[in-house]
Structure 1
Amino acid sequence: MNDLETISPEVLVDAPPRHHGLLPFLGLACGVGVSNIYYNQPLLLDMARSLHVDHSRMGTVAVATQIGYSIGILAFVPLGDVIERRGLMVRLMAGVAVAALLAAFAPNLAVLLAASIAIGLTAAVTHIIVPIAPELADDEERGRAIGTVMTGLLLGVLLARSVSGWIASFFGWRAVFFFAAASNAAFVPLLLRKLPKLPPHKPVRYMQALRSLWTLIRTQPLLRESAVLGGLVFAAFSAFWTTLVFLLGSKHYHLGAGTAGSFGVLGATGALIAPIAGRIADRRGSRTVVTLGLSLLTLGFCTLWLLGYHIMGLVLGVIVLDLGTQATQIANQTRIFGLEPGARGRINTIYMMIYFLGGSLGSLFSTIAWAHWGWSGVCALGLGLLGLAALRHATGVRDATA
């Protein structure tokens, strides 16, 4: 029997150092969970050929996964404030494995779409894991704890497309979903073995938790600020990554989508700043890290605008852009998880919903900018979004906890 089988929320909040060893494990679990959202993106052409479907129709698979993910965040993440969380994570990880198997055996587009929605729904387990990190550290080390877990999540986001492409190139697209099923299924016994039971701080009823989302938005100005700022930053970040494949395929590079996926490996260097940003947030405050992140993002987009048609300029811009994005994300989550310990699941729901809404809008507007003004239009859009984020930052909450 696990010697940490049941730990009260109060004990976890004042966790002794022995619990810190769980943070890298939680980071790995986050990386495995979030990867499921991005595995299908490099596979769309292969799946279209295999299932004899038009390319444009197969694009709905990626959309279905994102829709499922958004619904999953809204439906499942608040449950972290309602029921015991280890059991919830185990059930969702098992659900991802089953959904991935369904995708691997999908005989047609309809089944693949259903499986993709299910993958997105259950992959929301990632955002049940993240709010646990600050419970395993003292308040003065909250940023460092979040940074450790977020390193795994960010690596999962950035490397998933590359891993998917590599597996598919050797074994076919169905092998990617078999890999996803196996990796998620492996975490079912690992979660049961390594984690204690994690009861909610102050159990509430599910419908009460959903109704309280608006109350939190209305009464927490720092949450509103962080969510809007995060959404604008992710919009700028998504604008770049959505149109990168167009730039690489243009007359300046003549490179394919595979090269764009490989830039995810390069962008993974940005995850290295996560623990550093967390430590700076603990020592000097989250506002300092937000300022640093926005400065790096601005420098990154300026580099991409001026030097984006030269491969080394593109490489440098990608690295700086990712560093700035991850620093800002760590700072935002460090401060929102310090607001209401008993409502961290719901706080994370609000933040991530606005965050991904921003990313979707950034992707949409970037394709319009590319169509009308090319790469300069995309970079101008990114800098404009960052300007709005900087304005929100400059007019935001100013106190010791922000």
Structure 2
Amino acid sequence: MLKRADILLMAFCTGLIVANIYYCQPLVILIAKDFKISESYAGHITYLTQIGYAVGLFLLVPLGDMLERKKQILTTTAIAIVSLLLAAISKNFILLQIASVFIGITSIVPQLILPLAANLSNDEERGKNIGIIMSGLLVGILGSRAISGTVGDLLGWRAVFFMAAILCSLLMFLMAKRFPQSLPTFKGNYKALMQSMFGYIKTQPVLRETSIINFFAFAIIMAFWTTMVLFLANEPFKFQAYQIGLFGIAGAAGALAAPLVGKISGKGNPRKNLKIGFALQLASALLFYFTGSNLFVFILGVILIDIAQQAIHVTNQTRIYTLVPEARNRLNTIFMSVSFIGASCGSALGLWLWDKGGWALFCYGITGIVFINMLIYKFYGSKKF
């Protein structure tokens, strides 16, 4: 059984490791100057890291049901350290791009920690524990850009990757010392393991519902964080990049809400939490639409949309972990892969809506997506599977 200290350590490790994906984003300008390439070309490392993450998510996370989970976490972290050091010492941009792909692949450790925690938690504590770890994940995402930009400006972009490698080395020591073992339950080979995932998609309606709803929820949140940069950079605000980055602090409200949502998700009918998330998304879209030049109204909308995201995501993740205990890594792979695709689509959609009709059309667009999710919720609620 997990102790409180173990859960907090897992949250800590999750936040610092997921940050590896996002460190590169504020460093693009510095990298472009160092290698004497265009900023747009230097920006390739951002999506290469994301591609690596997608590959690792699909190919490596399912192995958690076939391998001993602690050993897989430590091995993946060790490769992450090597990848970060490779990025730090890269003498040309091609080598940095290769390193970026491997940084993405090895950043799936949080998606190995979550099933580990779920597997070692009792039914009453599972939702709360997942919520706490998700708080660490969100704080890592929100804080990584600010830390990277500051360190990069002061010490250079290579120092950021050296720093990340040192942090991962410390985490590896802590995880080796404190993480409990979790023996695998799947006895077949890798091919059978991957094939079994498609069987779960066919036979688990809750997995289908949570994945589809999360697809649209992630589309909304990523559309917002992509488009809000353009909104704040133009009239009436005309903010600079570092000022826009500070709005991530408002998003930390979602991190504070995650443990509470997780605790509620472990009791009664957690599906009802989704309605709260939908209502908060609609409220945030309304606030965004009527923001005008009122910064307070906008910030309130940021807080609400992040709490809504946590209400939906933590609830759905808690639900899938109760389905097939021996297949939690595979279920998480399906769930997070679909969510990740939704996030990518949301970024593209947000930019398209902004290009076609500015902030107002963006607000209409995310409102429409919320209603689509509500229809999906109603459809699955009316079925007797």
TM over 0.5: yes
Q: Do 2:69 and 2:116's aligned partners in 1 also have CA atoms closer than 8 Å?
A: no
Query: Is residue 2:95 matched to residue 1:95?
Result: no
Query: Is residue 2:20 matched to residue 1:36?
Result: yes
Query: Is residue 2:328 matched to residue 1:344?
Result: yes
**What's the CA shift string for 1:215-272, capped at 9, x where partnerless?**
1111111001000100100100000101121112112111122222221122112100
Query: Is residue 2:118 matched to residue 1:144?
Result: no
Q: Do 1:26 and 1:149's aligned partners in 2 also have CA atoms closer than 8 Å?
A: yes
Query: Is residue 2:260 matched to residue 1:269?
Result: no
Q: Which amino acid aligns with 1:99?
A: S
**What's the CA shift string for 1:30-89, capped at 9, x where partnerless?**
111211111111111121112111121112110100000000001110010011111110
Query: Is residue 2:374 matched to residue 1:390?
Result: yes
Residues 1-12 of structure 1 aligned to structure 2 (within 5 Å): none
**Structure 2 partner of 1:5:** none
Q: Do 1:221 and 1:397's aligned partners in 2 also have CA atoms closer than 8 Å?
A: no
Residues 351-370 of structure 1 aligned to structure 2 (within 5 Å): 351-370=335-354
**Structure 1 partner of 2:190:** 206
Residue identity (%): 36
**Structure 2 partner of 1:260:** 244
Structure 1: distance between partners of 2:159 and 2:294: 36
Residues 3-402 of structure 1 aligned to structure 2 (within 5 Å): 15=1, 19-307=3-291, 309-397=293-381
Q: Which amino acid aligns with 1:154?
A: L
**Structure 2 partner of 1:10:** none
Q: Which amino acid aligns with 2:369?
A: L
Length, aligned pairs only: 385
More moved, 18-27 vs 93-102: 18-27
Residues 136 and 399 (structure 1), Cα distance of their counterparts in 2 relative to 1, 3 Å cut: farther
Structure 2: distance between partners of 1:166 and 1:324: 30
Structure 1: distance between partners of 2:103 and 2:367: 34
Q: Which amino acid aligns with 1:291?
A: K
TM-score (norm 2): 0.96
Q: Do 1:222 and 1:397's aligned partners in 2 also have CA atoms closer than 8 Å?
A: no
Structure 2: distance between partners of 1:137 and 1:120: 28
Structure 1: distance between partners of 2:62 and 2:193: 6
Q: Do 1:235 and 1:359's aligned partners in 2 also have CA atoms closer than 8 Å?
A: yes
More moved, 207-216 vs 299-308: 299-308
**Structure 2 partner of 1:6:** none
Aligned-residue RMSD, C-alpha: 1.7
Residues 291 and 272 (structure 1), Cα distance of their counterparts in 2 relative to 1, 3 Å cut: same
Structure 1: distance between partners of 2:97 and 2:242: 24
Q: Which amino acid aligns with 1:381?
A: G
Q: Do 1:231 and 1:357's aligned partners in 2 also have CA atoms closer than 8 Å?
A: yes
Q: Do 1:245 and 1:256's aligned partners in 2 also have CA atoms closer than 8 Å?
A: no
Q: Which amino acid aligns with 2:109?
A: V
More moved, 106-115 vs 135-144: 135-144
Structure 1: distance between partners of 2:114 and 2:36: 39
Structure 1: distance between partners of 2:246 and 2:102: 27
Structure 2: distance between partners of 1:356 and 1:136: 26
Gaps of 5+ in 2: none
Structure 1: distance between partners of 2:306 and 2:201: 28
Gaps of 5+ in 1: 1-14
Residues 24 and 204 (structure 1), Cα distance of their counterparts in 2 relative to 1, 3 Å cut: farther
Deviation at 1:308, TM superposition (A): 5.3
More moved, 27-36 vs 216-225: 27-36
Q: Which amino acid aligns with 1:124?
A: I
Deviation at 1:399, TM superposition (A): 9.7
TM-score (norm 1): 0.92
Q: Which amino acid aligns with 2:125?
A: E
Residues 142 and 308 (structure 1), Cα distance of their counterparts in 2 relative to 1, 3 Å cut: farther
Aligned to 2:250, the other structure's residue is in SS state helix
